[in-house]
Chain A
């Protein structure tokens, strides 16, 4: 949905009502990026009441091309709230609105954190073991949210995880493959090999499920926030660890196995220290292979939004051509099981 001048006026009226005060929108500009969600810079001035003062914020709502697996914005806000309450690095939640009359669809507002998020730029900087360690700590904070933890009280919308996460994800991605126009034998190969070697059920924690370079913000070398909670769900810790370390998310520095920013050791050591858990290398390796399968299936879905759905987006169209290298990596990682 595009945000018109009318929408801006409706937003100001809505916020004024919530604030019980006059609210002036001093800036409202679309931020770069966001194939699935759009993020808008939103600066507010509030005359009095609970929000009195100036606020530098981000408003997040669905882009024209949303994906089915993404939570709605109100749920994503609840996930952000839960993570923030558990001590995960900002952005602080500000407000969520499920009323489509305001902007044409649900949205939420959060504090604006500063810095750089682009993976291809962050991975061209010198190796940064301190940042990797900080990310290990943050992931441990996220994984401290278990289904019975106080921080999870507002997350009842997350479906319970039945059985092992490994088998649950295999079943899910097969359903996604079945919905595609073209069959993907290489991904079927990967899923079958993963099925035959699936790790047993382990501890259930909140998984971010897109915890990777590109989805956190770094300002002058300091982590300022974990972003993009739209895919979070109950899972097992190694799923996030494997996603973060997978080759496909190392961008310009494939030799740095912790997200393209450092070796694994500082990331692992900090995670283990902060979580009190050990890291099973074999389980992480399994989830790294799964990371490539998952990204490849999502890539196929994105491409079909152009080829089948007719969404005129160059970025979506070209996602089809990322899939072959992901399939090659899946085959490379399952070669010994051939």
Chain B
């Protein structure tokens, strides 16, 4: 599930930073500040390009893994609870499927937030 702030909210933050909104706390260092603004804009752009596909795929995969339906937040809560109590411990029938789902979800999110990491790790 995408983290907030996302999409338009990120664009709004970047716009406020660029116009020097005094209500928005910004880093003192100008280069660092500019890099953060650019980052907010870039993440928003990537999210706009991918649309809601990643979250739909995540929800569908969760429903299959858990064998239940619900919205994305509720399914993620159910998975987190199940992982904590050991339902996906090593040797459990769905342990590998759970790991695969978490891995694919994390990849999707890093593609939006910082795809350079994937290149550095040799994953893409």
| Residues in A lying within 8 Å of B, measured CB to CB | 30, 32-33, 64-65, 174, 177, 182-186, 188-189, 191-192, 196, 254, 303, 306-307, 311-318, 320-325, 327-328, 331-332, 335, 337-338
Contact = CB atoms under 8 A, between A and B. Distances in A.
Contact of B39 (A174, A307, A313, A321): A321
Interface string B1-14: 10111000010010
Contacts, number: 125
Given A189-B102, A318-B40, A324-B109, A182 B3 contact: yes
Given A325-B113, A331-B106, A189 B99 contact: yes
B28 A338 contact: no
B45 interface: no
A182 B29 contact: no
Contact of A183 (B27, B80, B110, B112): B80
Contacts of B28: 30, 32-33
A332 B36 contact: no
Nearest to A313: B25
Contact of A315 (B4, B27, B98, B103): B27
A225 to B, nearest CB: 21
A312 B99 contact: no
A311 B25 contact: yes
A318 B39 contact: yes
Contacts of A30: 28
B99 A64 contact: no
B95 interface: yes
Interface of B: 1, 3-5, 10, 13, 17, 23-29, 33, 36-37, 39-40, 43, 73, 76-77, 79-81, 83-84, 86, 88-90, 95-96, 98-99, 102-103, 105-107, 109-110, 112-114, 117, 120-121
A278 B98 CA distance: 37
Given A321-B43, A324-B110, A331-B99, A314 B17 contact: yes
A64 B25 contact: yes
B121 A332 contact: yes
Contact of A328 (B23, B73, B81, B106): B106
Given A189-B98, A328-B106, A338-B96, A314 B79 contact: no
A185 B66 CA distance: 13
Contacts of B79: 183, 185, 188
Contact of B80 (A184, A313, A322, A338): A184
Interface of A is mostly: helix
A182 B5 CA distance: 13
Contacts of A307: 4-5
Contact of B90 (A311, A323, A337): A337
Instruction: Give the 9 A-B residue pairs with the shortest CB-CB distance, closest first.
Output: A324-B109, A183-B80, A338-B99, A320-B3, A313-B25, A321-B113, A32-B28, A328-B106, A188-B83
A196 B90 contact: yes
B117 A328 contact: yes
B106 A186 contact: yes
A314 B103 contact: no
B116 to A, nearest CB: 9
A328 B86 CA distance: 20
Given A182-B73, A327-B106, A331-B106, A315 B95 contact: no
Contacts of A186: 102, 105-106
B24 A312 contact: yes
